[in-house]
């Protein structure tokens, strides 16, 4: 099944590029920037993602007596934030696309500087190259986003015609990538049984969600947006650090993958629930067909 790995990686890269290109065609830079005008909420976002969540992960590794590899996996995810997958979760939940995009990029930028400082203090033997984390951010996220902004500014009709098909395409590609990664690493993920990692991971996910949900108030839609931003950790950044520092540690890789799959499945379930929450705030009523699909 290892021949599927290059396809899985390519699918994830295609998702990132098409997703950001579609966002750039859909939103203007002004919409994205204005969504971050609430400085108090921005500070709470940083507090939740880079203080409360890492502390919770550290305490959970001690509470469940996780092995060094699995402890490392949980801490890697805790110290990184801003995964591109949050845009799809927010979309399912009918969140604010401009706020979600702006916050995701902001969290990724903080992660680039935060991980090299914090990880060596939490995990012995780890060094983090900021360039290796920042390179995918620039190449596969920021560059396509700004290309999309340019198309929207100069060819608005083309942007209006293309962003929705791109959005649907990126959703399909993301689903394909997730399935392929699970198939490729299924045996390694099964090897985590009996380690308490899954229980610790589920507790971690619950803490992440509750933290974001409580800090995001008082508006319902902001609670929803920040809950998803805090729940879905920086999976790609975590994998970069794990593969760079410990390429032969299968337990570490399996631990990150298990927690990543649990986060993705939890985010889907939570997003469906939040969809009704956000719809009620907006005063909308979903048509019968939409209710059946969710």
pLDDT score for 189: 67
Q: Look at residue 262 and tell me whether its pLDDT is greater than 60.
A: yes
Residue 65 region by backbone torsions, left for phi larger than 0, else alpha for psi between -120 and 50, else beta? left
pLDDT mean over 161-182 = 86
Could you say which of 1.20.1530.20, 3.30.465.10, 3.30.300.30, 1.20.210.10 is the CATH number of the domain covering 2-293?
A: 1.20.1530.20
Among candidate residues 236, 261, 256, the one with its CA nearest the CA of residue 82? 236
Q: In this structure, what token pair is assigned to residue 263?
A: 């986060």
pLDDT score for 286: 43
How many Å apart are CA 20 and CA 166, to the nearest integer?
9
Q: What is the pLDDT of residues 54-81, one digit of tens each?
A: 999 999 999 998 888 899 999 999 999 9
pLDDT score for 174: 84
DSSP string, 136-184: HIIIIIIHHHHHHHHHHHH-HHHHHHHHHHHHHHHHHHHHHHHHHHHHH
Burial of residue 254, with CB atoms counted within 10 A of its CB: 0-12 exposed, 13-18 middle, 19 or more buried:
buried
Q: Look at residue 187 and tell me whether its pLDDT is greater than 80.
A: no
SS3 percent helix, strand, coil of the chain, rounded to 5, is 80, 0, 20
Of 162 and 124, more confident: 162
Q: Look at residue 156 and tell me whether its pLDDT is greater than 70.
A: yes
Reported as a pLDDT band with limits 50, 70 and 90, residue 213 is very high
Percentage, residues of the chain above pLDDT 70: 90
pLDDT mean over 26-33 = 84
- Please list, in sequence order, all residues whose beta carbon lies within 8 angstroms of the beta carbon of residue 275, skipping any fewer than 6 positions away: 92, 93, 94, 286, 294
pLDDT score for 292: 41
On the question of a cis peptide bond just before residue 218, with omega within 30 degrees of 0, the verdict is: yes
pLDDT score for 195: 65
pLDDT score for 11: 86
Pair 256, 238: CB distance under 8 Å = yes
- The residue assigned the tokens 């929803």 is 224
pLDDT score for 284: 52
pLDDT mean over 269-273 = 91
How many Å apart are CA 97 and CA 14, to the nearest integer?
20
Of 3 and 203, more confident: 203
Q: What is the pLDDT of residues 104-138, one digit of tens each?
A: 888 888 888 888 888 888 777 677 778 777 787 78
pLDDT score for 293: 38
Q: What is the pLDDT of residues 225-252, one digit of tens each?
A: 999 999 999 887 887 788 777 777 778 8
Pair 79, 114: CB distance under 8 Å = yes
Map out the domains of the chain as residue ranges.
2-293
């Amino acid at each position: 099944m290892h021949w599927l790995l290059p396809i899985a990686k390519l699918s994830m890269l295609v998702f990132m590029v098409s997703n950001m290109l579609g966002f750039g065609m859909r939103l203007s830079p002004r919409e994205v920037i204005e969504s971050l005008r609430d400085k108090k909420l921005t500070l709470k976002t940083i507090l939740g993602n880079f203080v409360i969540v890492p502390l919770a992960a550290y305490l959970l590794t001690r509470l469940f007596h996780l092995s060094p590899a699995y402890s490392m996996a949980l801490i890697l995810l805790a110290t990184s934030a801003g995964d591109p997958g949050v845009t799809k979760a927010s979309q399912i939940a009918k969140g604010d696309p401009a706020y979600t995009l702006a916050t995701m990029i902001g969290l990724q930028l903080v992660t680039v500087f935060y991980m090299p400082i914090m990880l060596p203090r939490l995990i012995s033997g780890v060094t983090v190259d900021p360039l290796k984390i920042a390179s995918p951010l620039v190449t596969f996220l920021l560059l396509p986003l700004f290309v999309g902004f340019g198309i929207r500014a100069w060819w608005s009709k083309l942007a209006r015609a293309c962003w929705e098909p791109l959005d649907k395409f990126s959703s399909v590609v993301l689903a394909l990538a997730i399935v392929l990664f699970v198939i490729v690493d299924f045996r390694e993920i099964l090897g985590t049984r009996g380690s308490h990692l899954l229980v610790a991971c589920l507790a971690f996910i619950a803490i992440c969600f509750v933290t974001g949900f409580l800090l995001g108030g008082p508006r319902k839609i902001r609670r929803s947006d920040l809950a998803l931003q805090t729940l879905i950790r920086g999976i790609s950044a975590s994998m970069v650090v794990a593969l760079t520092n410990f390429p032969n540690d299968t337990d570490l890789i399996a631990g990150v993958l298990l927690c990543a799959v649990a986060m993705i499945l939890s985010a889907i379930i939570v997003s469906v629930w939040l969809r009704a929450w956000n719809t009620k705030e907006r005063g909308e009523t979903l048509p019968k067909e939409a209710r059946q699909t969710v």
